[in-house]
Amino acid sequence: MDFNTAAETNIFDRPKILGKAVPRRDGPLKTTGRAPYAYERHDVAEGQLVGYPLGSAIAKGRILSMDTEAARAAPGVRAIVTTLDMEAMPVPSEMHTAHLFGGDKVEHYHQAIAVVVAETFEQARAATALIKVEYDADEGAEFDLLAAYEKMKDTPVDPEVSKGDFETAFANAAHRIDRTYVTTPQNHAQMEPQATVAAWDENGNVTLWTSNQMIQWAKKAVAKTFEMDVEKVRVDSPYVGGGFGNKLFIRSDVVLAALGAKAAGQPVKLAMPRPFVMNNTTHRAGTVQRIRIGTDAQGKIVALAHEGTSNTLPGGSGEDATNQSQHFYAADTLLIATRLAEMHLPEANAMRAPGEASGLMGLEMAMDEMAEELGMDPVQFRLVNDTDTSPATGKKFSDRNFARCLTEGAERFGWENRNTTPGSRREGDWLIGHGVAGAFRPSPATTSGARVRLQADGRIIVETDMTDIGTGSYTIIAQTVAEAMGMDIEDVEVRLGDSAFPVSSGSGGQFGAVSSTAGAYAACTALRREVARRIGHNDADGLSFARGNVTAGAKETPLVDIAPEGEIVAEDKVKFGSFRKDRMVATFAAHFVEVGVNAWTGEVRVRRMLGVCDAGRIMNPTTALSQVIGGMVMGVGAALSEEIAVDTAKGVFINHDLANYEVPVHADIPEQEVVFLDTLDPVSGPLKSKGVGELGLCGVAGAVANAVYNATGVRAREYPITLDKLLDGLPEV
Ligand code: MOS
């Protein structure tokens, strides 16, 4: 199916199942422990041994020697593979930066340097500790982003976007601010660590039962890393315990399990210990963001500059904090620039809403500061600078209802009753504050395929290598197919995550829901054509599919009667045409937050949150709500607690577990409300829906930060806003 023009009225405009609050299909399995995660795939391969990884204890340099003698002699040990046993394996893809294994060169702390395979986990772990490694560490490697920023900030860079004469417009602006914001590195902190069961067969085929967001990328990456034929690789990942970008790409668990299995001649399972997840995989880079805004006397933005600096390993791409500033607000002149500080911290890579999540932490605090400078209501300031066109590209948004997010949110939140003088409202021991922020995140779509199999009993099995990373893919794909075929949702079985299935979009960049449901729809359209043919029609136009029947004129045929001799299989994929690129397809939100800040201790408590989202048709209010609630919780973490602490002498992430890397829990946010405008965006895809998974995080931290300022009168420009950053400036008590 080619999606080459905006969707017209179609079956999804009179939905019976799509748009309903259907509960998560995998919910009962996950909450009762019956969903088998990668490390629990005990039944897929017999004789599984256990692998344990060893990571480098230096961040940069070379390994001179590895003594494995004691480890090899330890109880239960069956194989050891060290990085000195082979040349550096190829970097798995263009999206990877660091090597995953092989060779004597160390690029970052806890880069994998050995795997020990033993009969039990305890044996493997104990033996790993017996390996002696001699290093030659490079002196003078750079690990401190703020220090690097100080050195490079005055060096001119070519702007990414330069529209009009920013400097002159800024200098002549009636009002202006020039501020610098800092975000610290973050980790995805997904519940399920990376884990893989690997098994080779006698013909050199490898199967990897793993936890991954992008099955086809994983399959290709394994083939590239092992320099083998891609058709000899199978990847299976039906349940994923969270990813947030940390599982977009294969990591060393896949490579170590496969190497260990080969060396031991038996299947091997390996899960990353949590500290290894933090330092071995990827993180969201910290950023330093200089933002300048100039307005005219009425508050129209005449000049906007956003310069972002982030860290990366040499050759990587860091965290681009500036994207939203190119498109979100009407700005007469723009200056957008990024700087990359090459450092030897672990690999910086995508984490939920990469770019915008960090960039809006800067921009939306700057918008708040600018509104205050103007003496304007921050909601009003954003409304004044709303736009239907991206100032950077000149392209129109396909559908944009940001103003409605702001006005309906303000109404619902009771914004008019907010505290207007920072640091002035007190209830008992608590200073009360209110904050608002806007959110923007593109909503891309990408080719996605599926296969549908109409069974003799009238049921349908859907197969696609799409993943469900906690997002609801199983559920919304079932809804889409049930809707398209006019069936009960109970009669649709969805199978995901196996590379033996048609290639899908996978889960990433909040493109998964839009793309994979459209792919399932494409397959259903092919099936409808085939059903039509079986009942004597050239095509499915004019036929109706409802209540498990197909109706042609006066003749109604149960789907059960269509394939009595065996299943009918139809497969297709959706391809999104270039017309989509003529528009800006994006999602929007407004977030409103009330906080209490303890007047004596500076402790911040979120009291209530409201998010109003504009993301096209909401396919399932339950799963979409979960996505946005989860994103908002993550945003509170970004604002108040989440911070990878960097040992800037050694290049180690110190707080490498969930006791010390602090994420919010349910009790931290007593009241949380989400409203979906439930708009329609026919340019986005055949279902007229857009992504919500990343939107839910965008802007949230800025709203929290602005509320903290409003409560205290203290403007903390370095996230996370911990109480030490507030204490000195709190009002006298
Ligand atoms: Mo997302 S950071 O593309 O999983």
DSSP symbols for 253-303: HHHHHHHHHHHHTS-EEEE--HHHHHHHSEEBPPEEEEEEEEE-TTS-EEE
Residue type at 14?
A: R
Please give the number of the atom of ligand 1 that sits closest to the Cα of 354: 2
* Residue 620 scores a pLDDT above 90: yes
175-185 burial, b at 16+ Cβ within 10 Å, e below that, comes to bbbebbbbbbb
The pLDDT tens digits of the residues spanning 648-657 come to 999 999 999 9
Q: Where are the alpha helices (DSSP H) in 375-505?
A: 378-384, 402-413, 473-485
| C-beta of 508 in contact with ligand 1 (< 6 A) | yes
The pLDDT tens digits of the residues spanning 574-584 come to 999 999 999 99
Give whole-number Cα distances, 363 to 39, 51, 175, in Å: 41, 45, 17
Q: 405 CA distance to ligand 1 centroid (A)? A: 24
What average pLDDT does the segment 616-623 reach?
98
Closest CA relative to residue 318, chosen from 355, 362, 280: 355
Query: Which residue among 247, 283, 694 is best mutated to probe the pocket of ligand 1, counting the most ligand atoms within 8 A of its Cβ?
Result: 694
Residue with tokens 């039944």: 43
Retrieve residue 186's tokens: 């973050």
259 neighbors 100 (Cβ within 8 angstroms): no
| C-beta of 352 in contact with ligand 1 (< 6 A) | yes
Query: Which residue among 248, 469, 634 is best mutated to probe the pocket of ligand 1, counting the most ligand atoms within 8 A of its Cβ?
Result: 248
Is the pTM for the entire model greater than 0.95?
Answer: yes
* Residue 207 scores a pLDDT above 90: yes
| C-beta of 242 in contact with ligand 1 (< 6 A) | no
| C-beta of 351 in contact with ligand 1 (< 6 A) | yes
pLDDT score recorded for residue 703: 99
CATH number of 2-35+445-580: 3.30.365.10
The gap from C-alpha 535 to its chain's centroid, in whole angstroms, comes to 45
* Residue 140 scores a pLDDT above 90: no
Retrieve residue 167's tokens: 């400097």
What average pLDDT does the segment 593-608 reach?
98
* Cα 683 from Cα 444, distance rounded (Å): 11
| C-beta of 350 in contact with ligand 1 (< 6 A) | yes
pLDDT score recorded for residue 52: 98
Please give the number of the atom of ligand 1 that sits closest to the Cα of 469: 4
- CATH 3.30.365.10 intervals, the chain: 2-35+445-580, 393-443+585-729
- Decide which of 3.30.365.10, 1.10.3720.10, 1.10.240.10, 3.20.20.140 is the CATH code for 393-443+585-729: 3.30.365.10
Q: 214 CA distance to ligand 1 centroid (A)? A: 10
pLDDT score recorded for residue 8: 97
What average pLDDT does the segment 115-124 reach?
98
Q: 20 CA distance to ligand 1 centroid (A)? A: 26
| C-beta of 442 in contact with ligand 1 (< 6 A) | no
Q: 247 CA distance to ligand 1 centroid (A)? A: 8
266 neighbors 259 (Cβ within 8 angstroms): no
* Cα 288 from Cα 527, distance rounded (Å): 52
* Residue 541 scores a pLDDT above 90: no
* Cα 661 from Cα 655, distance rounded (Å): 6
Retrieve residue 91's tokens: 């970097």
φ, ψ of residue 369 to 5 degrees: the values are: -65, -40
Question: Which 3 state secondary structure label does DSSP give 161?
Answer: strand
Q: 693 CA distance to ligand 1 centroid (A)? A: 9
Retrieve residue 733's tokens: 């008590």
* Residue 539 scores a pLDDT above 90: no
Retrieve residue 570's tokens: 């139809």
pLDDT score recorded for residue 229: 98
Chain-wide mean pLDDT for the chain?
97
| C-beta of 113 in contact with ligand 1 (< 6 A) | no
Q: 721 CA distance to ligand 1 centroid (A)? A: 25
What radius of gyration do the chain's Cα atoms show?
Answer: 27
| pLDDT confidence tier of residue 515, bands split at 50, 70 and 90 | very high
| pLDDT confidence tier of residue 83, bands split at 50, 70 and 90 | very high
Closest CA relative to residue 525, chosen from 1, 54, 59: 1
What average pLDDT does the segment 308-314 reach?
97
* Residue 124 scores a pLDDT above 90: yes
| C-beta of 506 in contact with ligand 1 (< 6 A) | no
* Residue 476 scores a pLDDT above 90: yes
pLDDT score recorded for residue 564: 86
* Cα 262 from Cα 225, distance rounded (Å): 14
| C-beta of 509 in contact with ligand 1 (< 6 A) | yes
17-55 burial, b at 16+ Cβ within 10 Å, e below that, comes to bbbeebebbbbeeeeeeebebbbbbeebbeebbbbbbbb
Non-local CB neighbours of 282 within 8 Å, separated by 6+ positions? 188, 245, 246, 249, 251, 346, 347, 348, 349, 350, 351
362 neighbors 181 (Cβ within 8 angstroms): yes
DSSP string, 652-666: EES--STTTS----G
Please give the number of the atom of ligand 1 that sits closest to the Cα of 247: 4
Q: Which amino acids are annotated catalytic?
A: 694
| pLDDT confidence tier of residue 565, bands split at 50, 70 and 90 | confident
Q: 548 CA distance to ligand 1 centroid (A)? A: 37
397 DSSP β-pair partners: 584
Query: Which residue among 190, 250, 352 is best mutated to probe the pocket of ligand 1, counting the most ligand atoms within 8 A of its Cβ?
Result: 352
Q: 328 CA distance to ligand 1 centroid (A)? A: 21
| C-beta of 245 in contact with ligand 1 (< 6 A) | yes
| C-beta of 267 in contact with ligand 1 (< 6 A) | no
The gap from C-alpha 683 to its chain's centroid, in whole angstroms, comes to 23
| C-beta of 243 in contact with ligand 1 (< 6 A) | yes
* Residue 160 scores a pLDDT above 90: yes
Please give the number of the atom of ligand 1 that sits closest to the Cα of 351: 2
Q: 23 CA distance to ligand 1 centroid (A)? A: 24
Q: Where are the alpha helices (DSSP H) in 535-669?
A: 621-640
Q: Whose CA is nearest to atom 4 of ligand 1?
A: 245
The pLDDT tens digits of the residues spanning 220-234 come to 999 999 999 999 999
